[in-house]
Amino acid sequence: MSTTLTIRFAPFSQIAAPKPGRGVKADGTPTVLVVFAGKDGELSVGTKKLLGGAKETVDRAAKATKFKGNVGSSLDILAPHGLAFDRLIVLGTVRKEDEKDLPPQPKDALAGGALMAKLSSACKVSVLFDPPHGASADEGAALAAGMRLRHYKFETYKTKKKDSKDTKGPEAIDVTVGVADPAAVKRAAVVQDAIVEGVIAARDLVNEPANVLTPVEFAKRAAELRKLGVQVDILDVKAMQKLGMNTLLGVGQGSINESRMVVMRWNGGGKAQPVSFIGKGVTFDTGGISIKPAAGMEDMKGDMAGAACVTGLMRTFALRKAKANIIGAIGLVENMPGHNAQRPGDIVKSMSGQTVEVINTDAEGRLVLADVLWYIQDKYKPQFMINLATLTGAILVALGNEHAGLFSNNDELSERLAATGKATGEKVWRLPLSPGYDKMLDSKFADMKNIGGRFAGSITAAQFLQRFVNKTPWAHLDIAGTGMSSPSNDINQSWGSGWGVRLLDRLVAAHYEK
């Protein structure tokens, strides 16, 4: 059963027991009260007042379950004695020593996610967000954002659950969050909501099947950003031929679904030099003539997670009216075998003028990015380029699902990405680049080949990209392990995670806005 989630903010005074009568609302919806505890289960004055006689029940429950008020732990009490709610949830807020200096995101978002996890069917929820140590407006907004991120489900193609005659449609989870200063929290929530919208847009794109989300359809969805004031240019095959983007076009030539490149621009920074984000958008990766094995190939509908992140990110920037000039560019292709497909041994000339011998048609992402990176660097001279790509299976071998691989020609950009990764929970781990690895790409017949040897697969892929970057500060994030199919967590239960939107939004907010 799917549910709808509505969250509103109100002053503390509005969080009161339902009246008249007790518990269950007139329409039969159970009522839930949520409060927050500090160290050793300590409660704020306001919380104790609201709990009234039920305080004793909480103390007994805390004692019985050794509740210490730590983040992630909770008390869940049904029909609490002396309280006119059907259920009382006490959430812990005490962070571990090493998490003390984390900003509201992700910790309070995680708390929101943990709360959401407890609410699976219709209910009316009153949250008294009044922990004993106090809570900032940002924390209130982050709590709500975490609830929304956790609540997300991709159900577009579940016809039975939505339309079945014998259900009354989705159940409503109706949440009122009581906070000290609702106006301030609502202001903070504009930013948090923009982030949530961006993450959800990215997740939707990654989850969409490849028969629906072709390059042309993806471009159409990106064009919807025009409504938010984003300039969107779509380049078709002819336009890219004119520019000489032959490494990108070679990947898509075996598919009946035509390739596209989309450039999105948000101009919120006056005369400032733009920053840029570039995404791999392989809407499906069969491997091409170097075809992949059948098992698990369905996951390759997510080989556009980089492009999805960039598109979601542009939505976030537009919604929160970021004070920066930001370019988002995505290369959209489908990698298919076919009578016109690229062959192993083919030599193609990239827009940069460099030639590439295609040894393996399954190493296609780097071919796509080579031309998009070059185009953006050449045309816009950005402050930096950050590209995201589900580029190599090898990054899963190295880092699993915990960190994305980071490769960069710039220490400052790398350090900022690493620090922001820790703060948001979207973590990156830097791996090396060096001439020795670069040499592995030398080709007998062309300027380079598109694969290295058997080893260091993620690094040689990054070295390949670097051959299309001049002096521009650049970072490549290999998100094959984080963009899709990673284990679910407090704020994500979806196959497509929307990884990177929160990280890169914060990076820009912290360092590149006026």
Catalytic residues: 292, 366
14 binds, among ligand BES, Mn ion, Zn ion, none (CB under 5 to 8 A by kind): none
Q: Which one of residues 193, 258, 285, 438 is an interface residue with Mn ion (CB under 5 A)?
A: 285
Which residues between 298 and 357 bind Zn ion (CB under 5 A)? Answer: 303
451 binds, among Zn ion, Mn ion, ligand BES, none (CB under 5 to 8 A by kind): ligand BES
Closer residue to Zn ion, CB minimum distance, 89 or 484: 484
Phi-psi domain of 461 (left: phi exceeds 0; alpha: psi -120 through 50; beta: other): alpha
Residue among 374, 281, 386 nearest 327 (CA): 386
**478 forms bridges with which residues in the sheet?**
389, 405
Beta pairing class for 231-235 and 347-349 = unpaired
Q: Please tell me the distance from the alpha carbon of residue 358 to that of residue 458, in angstroms, as a whole number.
A: 17
Question: From the CB of 365, what's the least distance to ligand BES, in Å?
Answer: 5
Q: Which one of residues 138, 197, 362, 426 is an interface residue with Mn ion (CB under 5 A)?
A: 362
Q: Please tell me the distance from the alpha carbon of residue 168 to that of residue 161, in angstroms, as a whole number.
A: 10
457 binds, among Mn ion, Zn ion, ligand BES, none (CB under 5 to 8 A by kind): ligand BES
Question: From the CB of 458, what's the least distance to ligand BES, in Å?
Answer: 8
Residue among 328, 312, 377 nearest 149 (CA): 312
Q: How many CA atoms lie within 13 A of 510 on its CB side?
A: 16
**260 forms bridges with which residues in the sheet?**
332
Residue linked to tokens 């959430």:
91
Residue ranges that bind ligand BES, judged by CB under 6 A: 285, 303, 360, 362-365, 390, 392-394, 451, 457, 480
Closer residue to Mn ion, CB minimum distance, 258 or 362: 362
Specify burial of residue 471 (Cβ count, 10 A radius: 0-12, 13-18, 19+).
exposed
How many residues make contact with Zn ion (CB under 5 A)?
A: 4
365 binds Zn ion (CB under 5 A): yes
Task: Output the CA torsion sign for 73, 74, 75, 79.
Answer: negative
Residue among 307, 306, 326, 329 nearest 318 (CA): 326
Closer residue to Zn ion, CB minimum distance, 104 or 457: 457
> Can you spell out the DSSP letters for 407-464?
EES-HHHHHHHHHHHHHHS-EEEE----HHHHHTT--SSSSEES---SS-HHHHHHHH
Question: From the CB of 459, what's the least distance to ligand BES, in Å?
Answer: 11
CA dist 210 to 155, 206, 291, 299, 494, Å? 16, 9, 17, 10, 17
Closer residue to ligand BES, CB minimum distance, 320 or 449: 449
**Integer Rg of the chain from CA:** 25
Beta pairing class for 474-478 and 403-408 = antiparallel
Stretch that binds Mn ion, among 131-139, 165-173, 358-366, 384-392 (CB under 5 A): 358-366
CA dist 360 to 84, 133, 149, 256, 364, Å? 67, 58, 38, 21, 8
Q: Please tell me the distance from the alpha carbon of residue 464 to that of residue 352, in angstroms, as a whole number.
A: 13
Closer residue to Zn ion, CB minimum distance, 196 or 459: 459
122 binds, among Mn ion, ligand BES, Zn ion, none (CB under 5 to 8 A by kind): none
Tokens representing 36?
């927050």
Q: Please tell me the distance from the alpha carbon of residue 409 to that of residue 496, in angstroms, as a whole number.
A: 29
Question: From the CB of 397, what's the least distance to Mn ion, in Å?
Answer: 15
Which residues between 270 and 309 bind Zn ion (CB under 5 A)? Answer: 282, 285, 303
Question: From the CB of 363, what's the least distance to ligand BES, in Å?
Answer: 4
Question: From the CB of 393, what's the least distance to ligand BES, in Å?
Answer: 3
Closer residue to ligand BES, CB minimum distance, 194 or 278: 278
Stretch that binds Mn ion, among 232-240, 247-255, 256-264, 362-370 (CB under 5 A): 362-370
**286 forms bridges with which residues in the sheet?**
none
Q: Which residue is nearest to Zn ion (CB)?
A: 285
Stretch that binds Mn ion, among 86-94, 118-126, 243-251, 363-371 (CB under 5 A): 363-371
Question: From the CB of 448, what's the least distance to Mn ion, in Å?
Answer: 17
Question: From the CB of 376, what's the least distance to Mn ion, in Å?
Answer: 22
Question: From the CB of 478, what's the least distance to Zn ion, in Å?
Answer: 11
Stretch that binds Mn ion, among 17-25, 285-293, 446-454, 475-483 (CB under 5 A): 285-293
- Asked whether 355 and 348 are in contact (CB, 8 A), the reply is yes
Closer residue to ligand BES, CB minimum distance, 409 or 485: 485
Q: Which residue is nearest to ligand BES (CB)?
A: 393
351 binds, among ligand BES, Mn ion, Zn ion, none (CB under 5 to 8 A by kind): none
392 binds, among Mn ion, Zn ion, ligand BES, none (CB under 5 to 8 A by kind): ligand BES
Closer residue to Zn ion, CB minimum distance, 74 or 497: 497
Closer residue to Mn ion, CB minimum distance, 208 or 362: 362
- Which residue ranges make up the site for Mn ion (CB under 5 A)? 285, 362, 364
- Which residue ranges make up the site for Zn ion (CB under 5 A)? 282, 285, 303, 365
